[in-house]
Chain A
Amino acid sequence: MFTGIDIGGTNTDIAVINSHINTYKVPNSAGLNTALQKISTAGRLAISTSQPLNEILTGPPVKIRTITIPGPGLVYQGAIKGAVSHRGDVVEPINPEEVRDMMKGKPAQAIAIAGKFSVRNDVLEKQVYNIASEYFSDDQIALSSPLGALNFPARIHTTRFNAQIKNKVARLIHQIQAVHPDFFFVTSTGGLTSPSRALENPMLLYHSSPATVANGAFYLSKNENCLVIDIGGTTTELVPLKNGKPMHETVILGGLKTMVQAVTTTSIPFGGDSCVREDLCPFRAGSPRSFGGGEPTLTDALNVTGARIGDASRSKVIDSKKAHEIVHRYLKQVSMAVKEYQPEILVGTGYLAHYLLSDIAERAQVVGIVPEHAASANAVGAAVSRISLEVHIHVDSERKRLTLNGMTYPYKETSDDEGLLAYTTEIVRDMARAEGAPEEDIEDVQVLLFSSYEVVRGWRVTARITDAILGIAPGISVEAL
């Protein structure tokens, strides 16, 4: 049995997949516990939580203290003494007193710690972490080394965002585990992660909703190449699928490049809850009137034009001409955006898909389908996703050092690149197994990068250095097919 939950802007969607699919909607106002109590504790649970996290990230600023350990190079804010080299050697120690003085400074809600080349050796970050934990709880401190890849500025930004949302993610884990001890989060690329990995890099959970929609739409429609259009409460998202998978792009948040990949989407700021004033407005001001809200919305306009969504009688505060105009305006904007993709097939999801998709498809001149359970495709997508990993590997045969996503692993002497690849591939599989991935899902470990060169000192080869990125791609779990 597979259960998926997607906490959206208005509702929490639940999908339970057994021999058949059951879906439910619970208003967010009822609280997450209400949703959790609706599901059985048997089987696998996957939760997509991007909405509450996005609210924090786009909400009022939180006071984050950033401590950087840049060593030689460019100039960074919050710099303290200490340096790690490209080879992962500690070439300058930190000064504990300097760190303590920073802790005693102005108050902060969370701490971000980032060291240059910490992904090659995390020891200095750990030392600063140990001092910081005398002043802050674990859930208030984020480190950059688990992010795995080189790019110090992007790691600093990501670590700051992680510090901002780590507390919320920790509380969510606590709340969910009280009801359901074993569960997964859905990541921004549509893979699953264990709660402990999510806690090391909470930004993995950023913007996971479009990823769940992509997986759900593919699972429900079985269309490998199509454009998914998810008509939600606050936005309408367009997600192109190629060979059954969405595309990925680097997340840039507040103008800052992060180390996080997310599903590529086009977001149109109108959805069922967009309020209707003089015109259709690109924001939400409460629920639709047909669901007990005060102001009329796009949903109410649809009701006036003949739909029966919620208590349609409450919608009749807009005259028929204006309602048609509002719906027309929405359809025009969305169908124009759809046309740009020139899709073969348009797959509609979200709770208004049934009411709007045929009109959008007609205007965009494409074939449109709304699969069964389309209203909760996001939750279905969460339920059927599989564990995915991306592991950045650095091996130095002279230092006998092997780091995977910034963590030190036991080094093993291998005779050639093939041997090293086999060894590290098995470690990546073990990581996925430890999180609970079934064997069928981890057979295919992708080699995204493999590059090595020899170190020569005194005309002699003294070491071999290898950089690799191995991954288990996100997608639909074999068990769910």
Chain B
Amino acid sequence: MHQQSPSHPERRERLSYTLDQLREEGIFDLPQIRLLSPRPAIRDDVLLVHTREYLQFLEETSITGGTIDADTYVPKDLIRDALLAAGGAITGADAVINQEVKNCFVLARPPGHHAGRSHGAGFCYLNNVAIMVRHLQRRGMRRIFILDWDAHHGNGTEEIFYDDPSVLFCSVHQYPFYPGSGRIEDIGIGDGKGYNVNLPIPAGSSDKEYRFLLEEVILPLAEEYMPDAIAISAGQDNHFTDPLTGLALTARGYAGLMQEMCILADSICYGRIIAVLEGGYSVEGGLPYTNLGLIAAMAGLDISAIREPEIYQETLHSVASADAFPKVIRMVSDLKKILADNWYFIRRYD
């Protein structure tokens, strides 16, 4: 199992409590839930996205161990785990395409959305979501909508699809924050102009701000784009207990977002959603509840009791900020001006 170093935030412990929670809730016994085992990705899958030189670098460094950046070491045998994570996303996509399942959630580690064509960064090595999206297209799908709600900007995914109108990339992220990119002005280039939508939000943003973005931008954008499938870079570091970020989404907020995305998918793309885990480092107070909430929403279960234990309420009050909402309203208004020529839903009321 992948581990950069025993105390790194992206470590084994991350999913242990989640698995405890899912087992205790009897999730794997439910008739509407299927547990799929991942197949490792092969070189040809990776080369749909990454350069041959970069893949070779990862393969070689995996033998000796090495470093990509200050946050991202290459431990021995990294390539095996990275291929399994990317392959997990492909396995999920295949299950959806083959109509074995309507949607799926890939609980993969290590994450991928900071990895670009020829480099890794920020705990990421292979861009699992990008590889999966190219695989969907290889199997005949034309347009894919990617929603990246990880707290950090999905700069790797943005780079990969920046000039490509067949993939609409939309990222909600804390700003200013790591990795520094993700401004509203960055809307793509060439044929891809207008197909890159950044939604930078301030620290302290909570369920209300996410709900606003969903209704004002994400849902109408996806409805106008009419994708064949929706991919979600489902980072869970926007949870209010996350130690590395300053956002304030709750487990119930997450489940509500996913429920809305499922309703959207039902109406525009036969319910097809492939969600892939990205970040999320609040292993005890966040992940067990957010992961369960996402799975419950995707399985059509009652999400009304999805929440954190009461002991975390104080943290929520200290993290959530009333200043966030006006800033988000302003950001959306500015973004709409920039994208008005590209999207009809923005200019139809003008």
Q: Chain A residues in contact with chain B, CB under 8 A?
A: 70-75, 79, 83, 85-87, 91-92, 116-117, 150-154, 257, 453-456, 459-461, 465
16 A-B pairs, CB-CB below 8 angstroms? A72-B306, A72-B307, A72-B308, A73-B21, A74-B306, A83-B309, A85-B309, A86-B17, A87-B284, A92-B311, A150-B24, A153-B26, A154-B29, A453-B13, A454-B12, A461-B7
Known pairs A73-B305, A153-B29; list 6 more (Cβ under 8 Å). Answer: A72-B306, A75-B302, A79-B305, A91-B310, A150-B23, A150-B24
Q: Chain B residues in contact with chain A, CB under 8 A?
A: 6-7, 9, 11-13, 16-17, 20-21, 23-26, 29, 251, 284, 288-289, 292, 296, 301-302, 304-311
Is B305 within 8 A of A153, CB to CB? no
Chain A residue nearest in CB terms to B302: A75
Is B24 within 8 A of A456, CB to CB? no
Q: Which of B12, B17, B20, B306 has the most CB of A within 10 A?
A: B20
Is B6 within 8 A of A454, CB to CB? yes
CB distance from A196 to the nearest CB of B (A): 27
Out of A70, A71, A456, name the residue touching B6 (CB < 8 Å). A456
List, in ascending order, chain B residues with CB within 8 A of A460's CB. Answer: 7
Chain A residue nearest in CB terms to B288: A86
Chain A residue nearest in CB terms to B1: A453
Is A456 within 8 A of B13, CB to CB? yes
Is B288 within 8 A of A71, CB to CB? no
Q: A72-B251, A74-B292, A453-B12 are in contact. Are A151 and B305 (CB under 8 A)?
A: no
A324 to B7 alpha-carbon distance, docked (Å): 76
List, in ascending order, chain B residues with CB within 8 A of A453's CB. Answer: 12-13, 16
Is A75 within 8 A of B305, CB to CB? yes
The 4 closest A-B pairs by CB, nearest first: A91-B309, A153-B26, A150-B23, A150-B24
A75 to B255 alpha-carbon distance, docked (Å): 14
Is B26 within 8 A of A86, CB to CB? no
Is A74 within 8 A of B301, CB to CB? yes
A330 to B168 alpha-carbon distance, docked (Å): 67
CB distance from B13 to the nearest CB of A (A): 5
Out of B9, B20, B25, name the residue touching A74 (CB < 8 Å). B25
Is B7 within 8 A of A456, CB to CB? yes
Is A153 within 8 A of B7, CB to CB? no
Q: Which of B12, B17, B24 has the most CB of A within 10 A?
A: B24
Chain B residue nearest in CB terms to A85: B309
Is A85 within 8 A of B301, CB to CB? no
A116 to B20 alpha-carbon distance, docked (Å): 11
A86 to B21 alpha-carbon distance, docked (Å): 7
List, in ascending order, chain B residues with CB within 8 A of A461's CB. Answer: 6-7
A74 to B9 alpha-carbon distance, docked (Å): 28
Is A150 within 8 A of B13, CB to CB? no
Q: A72-B308, A75-B302, A454-B6 are in contact. Are A152 and B17 (CB under 8 A)?
A: no
CB distance from B71 to the nearest CB of A (A): 13
Is B6 within 8 A of A86, CB to CB? no
Is A70 within 8 A of B305, CB to CB? yes
A151 to B20 alpha-carbon distance, docked (Å): 9
CB distance from A6 to the nearest CB of B (A): 32
List, in ascending order, chain B residues with CB within 8 A of A459's CB. Answer: 7
A453 to B11 alpha-carbon distance, docked (Å): 10
CB distance from B285 to the nearest CB of A (A): 9
CB distance from A403 to the nearest CB of B (A): 13
List, in ascending order, chain B residues with CB within 8 A of A154's CB. Answer: 26, 29
Is B20 within 8 A of A86, CB to CB? yes
List, in ascending order, chain A residues with CB within 8 A of B21's CB. Answer: 73, 86
Chain B residue nearest in CB terms to A119: B24
Q: Which of A71, A86, A153 has the most CB of B within 10 A?
A: A86
Is B292 within 8 A of A73, CB to CB? yes
Chain B residue nearest in CB terms to A83: B309
CB distance from A79 to the nearest CB of B (A): 8
A465 to B283 alpha-carbon distance, docked (Å): 14
CB distance from B199 to the nearest CB of A (A): 28
Q: Which of A73, A75, A87, A459 has the most CB of B within 10 A?
A: A73
Q: A151-B29, A456-B6 are in contact. Are A117 and B24 (CB under 8 A)?
A: yes
List, in ascending order, chain A residues with CB within 8 A of B301's CB. Answer: 74-75
List, in ascending order, chain B residues with CB within 8 A of A455's CB. Answer: 13
Is B24 within 8 A of A92, CB to CB? no
A72 to B289 alpha-carbon distance, docked (Å): 8
List, in ascending order, chain A residues with CB within 8 A of B25's CB. Answer: 73-74, 116, 152-153
CB distance from A143 to the nearest CB of B (A): 16
List, in ascending order, chain A residues with CB within 8 A of B311's CB. Answer: 91-92
A453 to B15 alpha-carbon distance, docked (Å): 11
A154 to B23 alpha-carbon distance, docked (Å): 10
Is B7 within 8 A of A257, CB to CB? no
CB distance from B284 to the nearest CB of A (A): 7
Is B305 within 8 A of A454, CB to CB? no
Q: A86-B284, A456-B11 are in contact. Are A151 and B302 (CB under 8 A)?
A: no
A151 to B284 alpha-carbon distance, docked (Å): 19
CB distance from B148 to the nearest CB of A (A): 26
List, in ascending order, chain A residues with CB within 8 A of B20's CB. Answer: 86, 117, 150
Is B309 within 8 A of A75, CB to CB? no
List, in ascending order, chain B residues with CB within 8 A of A83's CB. Answer: 309-310
CB distance from B50 to the nearest CB of A (A): 30
A461 to B310 alpha-carbon distance, docked (Å): 26
Is B306 within 8 A of A73, CB to CB? yes
Is B305 within 8 A of A465, CB to CB? no
List, in ascending order, chain A residues with CB within 8 A of B9's CB. Answer: 456
